[in-house]
Amino acid sequence: MTSSYQVVWKGPVNRRSGLGIASRGYVRALRAQGVNVTLREQNTHFPKNRKVLIYHHSPSTLNIEKERQRYGKIIINTVWETTRIPQRWIRPINQADAVCVPSLQNKQAMLNSGIKVPIYIVPHGVHSQMYKPTKKRMPSKISKEKFTFISIFGFQHRKNPEALLRAYWEEFSSADNVRLIIKTNGYSSNENEQWIRRQIHAYKAILNISKNTAPIEISTRYLTTKSLRSIYAKGHAFVLPTRGEGVGLPLLESLASGVPVITTGWGGHMDYLTERSSFLVKYKLRPPTVSLNRKSSISHKFRSLFSEKGQLWAEADLGNLKRQMRRAYENPQLCLMKGQRGRKDVLSLSWNRAGSSLKRVIEEVIRKRK
């Protein structure tokens, strides 16, 4: 049965990013729930009061006055990674009818920032039939099977590649039966694989690390879902000492693949991570400008988003990160058990669940008077 209202979805449905994956996921999930969803404005039989705009771009780019002429209700769907949203987002969000966010941490960031409209938590999903466990050989010096850490992230400061690299270099050497596979990408044409490798090499020199370190494999090319699955299939543990996540899509995909995660114990991902499925790293909340201003910062900063007064994010404790990585390395059977638990935990986190949640929000917003 098709809905008695129409949703126009404006979002990055064609982008390869995590935001693009989420946009496509929400649209498909709503359609599976019988919601009439279109990606562009159309002349239809739906009256204005039965037309809903869901805006999934940056809130500061929303022309609220223009869109009010076309839609009875406007819902902003967004995500954020620090304790406060950018100031330029506040006015457009408060002019909308509601805002949807994917996690408790995101809702708190909205409240901290003075958002007055209704805030709904509508979680992301994960394709647990697409990402699923595969049999892998356990690490062994006899079989020469290395313990494999994997990390998938955009090469930006928020993801904290500096802590990841430093912890790995300082904790492991070529004498350890280990490797780190990094799948990453830059954010401009000059941030290619050569640039990323140069940044990493320069950072190693800054740290004055001269010992024979354990191997790192780096890939920066675009990967199909099948190729991404093959990276998860190689991993015994996923590691990302992130400073903040709205959701943490690779963390979800890793758990769905039966691979436990080593990550900072703060952010949107704490809605689904537990000690049973993860190695949680201790942290302290700090203003982003503290680390953004370090000369040793090697990745894309997005300073205009993360340097406003009052914003905080999590700085992983380096010593604890190293201990958690060592613990995972020395206990592959524990990693297997945590991975199995993580897989069970995320089986219920489907896109169908996300679509059902979002449909309820839309219908509640339609019922409410301005």
For residue 196, give both structure tokens. Answer: 């990323």
In this prediction, residue 177 carries a pLDDT of 95
Residues composing the chain: 370
Domain check: are 175 and 89 in the same one? no
Question: Does residue 97 sit within a domain?
Answer: yes
Domain check: are 189 and 251 in the same one? yes
Question: Does residue 234 sit within a domain?
Answer: yes
Question: Does residue 136 sit within a domain?
Answer: no
Domain check: are 356 and 332 in the same one? no
In tens, the pLDDT along 296-309 reads 899 999 999 999 99
Strands 51-55 and 278-281: unpaired
Q: By CB neighbour count within 10 A (0-12 exposed, 13-18 middle, 19+ buried), where does 214 fall?
A: buried
Find out whether 356 and 364 touch, Cβ atoms under 8 Å. Answer: no
Domain check: are 164 and 112 in the same one? no
Q: Within 13 Å and on the Cβ side, how many CA atoms surround 180?
A: 24
In this prediction, residue 370 carries a pLDDT of 56
45 vs 6, 34, 49, 219, CA distance in Å?
Answer: 10, 17, 12, 49
Residues of the domain holding 340: 147-347
Strands 237-240 and 261-264: parallel
Domain check: are 108 and 244 in the same one? no
Element (DSSP H or E) covering residue 338: helix 332-346
Domain check: are 361 and 342 in the same one? no
CA dihedral 71, 72, 74, 75 (to 10 degrees): -130
In this prediction, residue 319 carries a pLDDT of 98
In this prediction, residue 213 carries a pLDDT of 93
Given a cut of 50, the residues of the chain with pLDDT beneath it are: none
Domain check: are 210 and 325 in the same one? yes
Domain check: are 323 and 239 in the same one? yes
Question: Does residue 290 sit within a domain?
Answer: yes
Domain check: are 359 and 297 in the same one? no
By C-alpha distance, which of 269, 226, 232, 228 is closest to 249?
A: 269
Count of domains forming the chain:
2
In tens, the pLDDT along 236-267 reads 999 999 999 999 999 999 999 999 999 999 99
Domain check: are 225 and 313 in the same one? yes
By C-alpha distance, which of 224, 227, 254 is closest to 239?
A: 254
Q: Within 13 Å and on the Cβ side, how many CA atoms surround 196?
A: 25
Domain check: are 244 and 314 in the same one? yes
Question: Does residue 241 sit within a domain?
Answer: yes
Question: Does residue 135 sit within a domain?
Answer: no
Question: Does residue 115 sit within a domain?
Answer: yes
In this prediction, residue 41 carries a pLDDT of 76
Q: What is the pTM of this model?
A: 0.94
Question: Does residue 81 sit within a domain?
Answer: yes
Domain check: are 94 and 185 in the same one? no
In this prediction, residue 1 carries a pLDDT of 60
The enclosing domain of 28 has a CATH number of: 3.40.50.2000
